[in-house]
Each structure stands twice: as C-alpha cells, then as structure tokens.
Copies of this chain bind each other. A is one copy, B any other.
Amino acid sequence: MTRQIILKSRPVGIPTLDNFESRSVDIHVVSPGQVRLMAHTMSVDPYLRGRMNDAPSYIPSFQLGEPIVGGGVARIVESKTEGFNVGSYVMGYLPWQEEMVIDTAGLKIVDENLAPLSFYLGILGMPGLTAWFGLTDIGKPQPGETVVISGAAGAVGIVVEQLAKIQGCHVVGIAGSDAKVRYLKDELKFDEVINYKTTSDLEAAIALACPSGVDVYFDNVGGEISDAVIAQINKNARIIICGQISLYNATSQPMGPRIQSVLLKKSALMQGFIVGNYSSRFDEGLKALSQLVGTGKLKYTNTTYHGFERLPEAFIDLFEGKNLGKLIVEL
C-alpha cells in the first residue's frame, strides 16, 4: 500500500485543502517496460490549476477521484526495463503518490552528480526550458533593450532575468514581497525591482524603472500588472504570454482594457506559448542551460516544503506567491 493525493472536488476560485484527499492504494506488480519508483521531489506548478477545471485547455482536465499528476523526480527501486537501473533517479510526469509502478516511456534518467536533483524540476526542467524558449524564440531581446518580467521571483522569472542580463539587457522585475525584491536585486542583480503590492502607482514605477520604455515583456501573471506594463511598450515590442497566474482562480470572465489598440500603435507582437511546443528542441535548450549552470552563470533557488502530505498546501501557496523560485516538495 502507498499514499496518493487525488482531486476530490473541482476548485471554485482559489483551491482549498478540501479539494484534495489522501488515500491508500495498492501497488501493482512491475511488468516489462516498467519500473517501481519512490518519489523523491515533487513539483507544484501554477498550470496544474487549469487542469483542475472541467474545461478544455491545452492539456486534458484531471478527473475527479484520480491522482494529481505533475513533474517529479523519483528513485528506481525495482526495474523491468533495460537502462533503468535500481538506484538511479528519473524525472517525468508522476502521480502524486509516494511509491508507484509506472511505464518508463516518458521518464528520463537524471544524474544527481551533475546538478542537485531539484534542478531537474527547475532550471534544468520545465521552468528553465520555458524561460529559455519563451525569451530566446519569442522575446528575442537585443543588447541594450529593456526586458520587464512579471512573476519575477518565480520558477521561470528568475531564469528569464539571468538570461536577459547575459544578453546585455536592462532587466526590470515585478514581484510581490520585499524579501523577493531584496533577493532579486541583491542575488540576481536585477537592474530594478518593483514590489507591486506596496507601490501606489505601478505605471509610474515602471516608467521610472524603464526610462527607455519596454521592449520585451515576459508575462507570468496577467491582470492589472500587465496593463501597467503594456501601457508603456515601445514600437516593435514583444510580449511573451507564459502564464496568467493572477487570473487562474477567476470565477467569471476577467475584464480589462482592450490591448489591441496598443499593439496596433506600437506594431507589437503578443504570443502565447507552452513549453511543450518546443519538445523537439528540448535537448538544445537543456544543453544551453546546462552549460550556463555549469559555468556558474546561472543561479537557481527553490522554496522547499518537506513531506508528501504537504503537496496540496504547497500548491495552494503558489497563488499567494509564498514561493521564491521553484516551489518543490521533498518527501
């Protein structure tokens, strides 16, 4: 028997602990092509919120009574697949379950000697690749341009920032606590960081932080923060829609200023994307990120919760912005 966490009811608005339930389930016997895993570190990510709705999105909805599935790193404890040796670690999309038997298709061996295991859920995983492809393929920042990042202290934002600095840009972050602002300024060397929760006039603050206007906006949050940034874009600006966490819990259609007129006046581009669009190029992105991590040019940080049972709490805390960098749960 092992524990798993299922979706008990669909959240309406902000998720609550009641939406989840822990239960005990049997472990299957390992068949050829499968492994038995012990979960080591699980990832909680904002995009999971969309899967909890019963509405079409870019990935299918979770079913009620079924376990949540998210990114995770786990150790192989039994194997019936060549190349997947007991004691090795794998990453992949795993059910929120302490112990599991799972097909190895879709799993990838990771090397705990090359980087901390948590990195494979962060800078060398989905958030890192999201930052890499969103910024380089859509944003295409040029040296001297101004790059603004919302959700700047999040799992993706902190990578985007460092990549933009390496590219020679003026980089401005928007985050939601003084602790985050300090980290971004002191550790990651953002040029300017704005605490949107304590700034009375966000538009004025952005104007002050971006004296040459905004050339690239990497948007993780949406809503009014984005309104304030988009009002100040330059001609030929690129707006990367990576996330809209401020709206994921909306219970009615969010309304805001119509932005098409700004895009028209500025000949600006706005592009939504998910990292899966680039799956054929993941190796290219991972190679670039690994080199930058290996040479110390990219830093990364996690907020770590301990204990399997804290997965729902960790997920809910994402929407209050309690995390600095990637939020992970270690078992």
Q: Which residues of A contact B (CB under 8 A)?
A: 50, 57-58, 219, 222-223, 226, 235, 241-244, 247, 253-274, 277
Give the contacting residue for A258; candidates B57, B254, B269; CB below 8 A: B254
Q: Does A263 lie within 8 Å of B247, measured CB to CB?
A: no
Q: Does B222 lie within 8 Å of A261, measured CB to CB?
A: yes
Residues of B within 8 A of A277 (CB): 267
Q: Does A254 lie within 8 Å of B244, measured CB to CB?
A: no
- How far, in Å, is A181 (CB) from chain B's closest CB? 25
Q: Does B241 lie within 8 Å of A263, measured CB to CB?
A: yes
- How far, in Å, is A109 (CB) from chain B's closest CB? 29
Q: Does A265 lie within 8 Å of B58, measured CB to CB?
A: yes
Known contacts: A58-B267, A255-B256, A267-B58. The answer to whether A261 contacts B244 by CB under 8 A is yes
Q: Does A264 lie within 8 Å of B241, measured CB to CB?
A: yes
Q: Does B258 lie within 8 Å of A58, measured CB to CB?
A: no
Residues of B within 8 A of A257 (CB): 253-256
Residues of B within 8 A of A57 (CB): 265
| 7 closest residue pairs by CB, A with B | A263-B272, A264-B272, A270-B270, A254-B258, A256-B258, A269-B271, A241-B264
Give the contacting residue for A266; candidates B223, B261, B272; CB below 8 A: B272
Known contacts: A222-B258, A255-B255, A258-B255. The answer to whether A244 contacts B271 by CB under 8 A is no
Residues of B within 8 A of A50 (CB): 265
Task: Kindly state the separation between the CA atoms of A259 and B277 in the bound complex, as whole angstroms.
Answer: 20
Task: Kindly state the separation between the CA atoms of A243 and B264 in the bound complex, as whole angstroms.
Answer: 7
Task: Kindly state the separation between the CA atoms of A273 and B260 in the bound complex, as whole angstroms.
Answer: 11
Shortest Cβ distance from A274 into B: residue: B267
Task: Kindly state the separation between the CA atoms of A215 and B327 in the bound complex, as whole angstroms.
Answer: 36
Q: Does B58 lie within 8 Å of A260, measured CB to CB?
A: no
Residues of B within 8 A of A263 (CB): 241, 270-272
- How far, in Å, is A230 (CB) from chain B's closest CB? 10
Q: Does A261 lie within 8 Å of B273, measured CB to CB?
A: no
Residues of B within 8 A of A261 (CB): 222, 244, 247, 254
Residues of B within 8 A of A258 (CB): 222-223, 244, 247, 253-256
Residues of B within 8 A of A223 (CB): 258
- How far, in Å, is A232 (CB) from chain B's closest CB? 12
Residues of B within 8 A of A241 (CB): 260, 263-264
- How far, in Å, is A145 (CB) from chain B's closest CB? 18
Further 4 A-B residue pairs, CB within 8 A, beyond A244-B258, A255-B258, A267-B274: A222-B260, A241-B263, A241-B264, A244-B264
Task: Kindly state the separation between the CA atoms of A260 and B242 in the bound complex, as whole angstroms.
Answer: 9
Task: Kindly state the separation between the CA atoms of A254 and B247 in the bound complex, as whole angstroms.
Answer: 20
- How far, in Å, is A233 (CB) from chain B's closest CB? 10
Residues of B within 8 A of A264 (CB): 58, 241-244, 272-274
Q: Does A270 lie within 8 Å of B273, measured CB to CB?
A: no
- How far, in Å, is A306 (CB) from chain B's closest CB? 32
Shortest Cβ distance from A50 into B: residue: B265
- How far, in Å, is A129 (CB) from chain B's closest CB? 15
Shortest Cβ distance from A266 into B: residue: B272
